């Protein structure tokens, strides 16, 4: 397995800042600080505890995600302008016993489902993009297999060298520009679309966003104020995207 130090450092920093570790580390810092500065330390400690609780509620997770999800699915006129469909990889399911090895995770599967629908609707060729950022097998071949076997759609191109969204765009451009394709339907999570579109535009594409998996409140709103694993995951995903957008602005977004 290849090791990429810069990528590891980026992920380590994100892990320490984002929930659940971020608020916990803040509370721990406040506890330590209280030995010398009791009043300040107590405030920092309770800020960390309160922050963890709030971030763990689906209400806050959905609220944070909703501010990212301002790009809507394409209409029929926009879809007609596209020359190809690009589906970005998300999560992997490593060592899946029921599938005999590495395959696509839930986030990738959601993207494939919508990409497959667009492919059947338009007849456009499909590129799947995803490497092995976390080790194991590259994601793109597993995406191609799932797209074919589970959705009956064949991917024309497979980009399996990328480690992050920036490289998804750069390496996809290397493939599609040879085919004189520069207008693409870009399929990814709604919360990820703003960042993904920036990278693909920078790589020279005219992007027609095709976001999927929008956040939504539960049918019983009262439960949205109870801390859950789902809530903390939503908050972490949203803050990860804001962190990524900030990295683009600061020019510190290279993967390797």
Residue 255 lies in a domain: no
117 contact partners, CB below 8 Å, separation of at least 6: none
Please give the residue range of the domain that contains residue 43: 5-67+225-250
d(CA 102, CA 160): 14
**Which burial class, exposed, middle or buried, applies to 91 when counting CB atoms under 10 A from its CB (0-12, 13-18, 19+)?**
middle
pLDDT tens, N- to C-terminus, the chain (256 residues): 577 787 888 889 899 999 999 999 999 999 999 999 999 999 999 999 999 999 999 999 999 999 999 999 999 999 999 999 999 999 999 999 999 999 999 999 999 999 999 999 999 999 999 999 887 889 999 999 999 999 999 999 999 999 999 999 999 999 999 999 999 999 999 999 999 999 999 999 999 999 999 987 667 778 899 999 999 999 999 999 999 999 999 888 876 7
**Do both 62 and 80 map to the same domain?**
no
Task: Assess if residue 177 is contained within a domain.
Answer: yes
Domain count, the chain: 2
Residue 53 lies in a domain: yes
Q: Is 174 within the bounds of a domain?
A: yes
For β-strands 84-88 and 92-96, DSSP reports them as unpaired
Do residues 144 and 198 both lie within one domain? yes
What DSSP string runs through 76-124?
Answer: HHHHHT-SEEEEE---EEEEETTTTEEEE-HHHHHHHHHHHHHHHHH--
Domain CATH number, residue 203: 3.40.50.620
Residue in 87, 86, 105, 85 with CA at minimum distance from that of residue 95: 105
């Amino acid at each position: 397995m290849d090791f990429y130090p810069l990528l590891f450092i980026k992920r380590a920093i994100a892990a320490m800042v984002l929930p659940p570790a971020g608020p916990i580390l803040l509370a721990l810092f406040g506890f330590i600080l209280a030995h010398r500065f009791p009043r300040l330390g107590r405030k920092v400690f309770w800020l960390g505890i309160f922050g963890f609780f709030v971030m763990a509620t689906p209400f806050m997770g959905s609220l944070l995600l909703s501010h990212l999800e301002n790009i809507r699915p394409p209409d029929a006129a926009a879809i007609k302008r596209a020359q190809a469909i690009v589906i970005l990889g998300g999560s992997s399911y490593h060592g899946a016993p029921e599938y005999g090895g590495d395959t696509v995770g839930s986030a990738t599967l959601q993207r494939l489902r919508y990409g497959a629908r667009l492919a059947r609707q338009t007849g456009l060729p499909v590129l799947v993009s995803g490497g092995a950022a976390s080790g194991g097998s590259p994601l793109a071949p597993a995406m191609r297999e799932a797209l074919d076997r589970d959705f009956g759609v064949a991917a024309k191109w497979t980009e399996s060298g990328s480690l992050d969204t920036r490289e998804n765009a750069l390496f996809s451009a290397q493939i599609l520009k040879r085919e004189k394709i520069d207008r693409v339907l870009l399929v990814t999570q709604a919360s990820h679309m703003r960042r993904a579109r920036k990278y693909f535009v920078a790589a020279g594409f005219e992007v027609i966003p095709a976001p999927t998996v929008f956040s939504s409140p539960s049918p019983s709103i009262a439960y949205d104020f109870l801390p859950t694993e789902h809530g903390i995951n939503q908050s972490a995903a949203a803050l990860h995207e804001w962190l990524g957008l900030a990295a683009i602005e600061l020019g510190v977004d290279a993967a390797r």
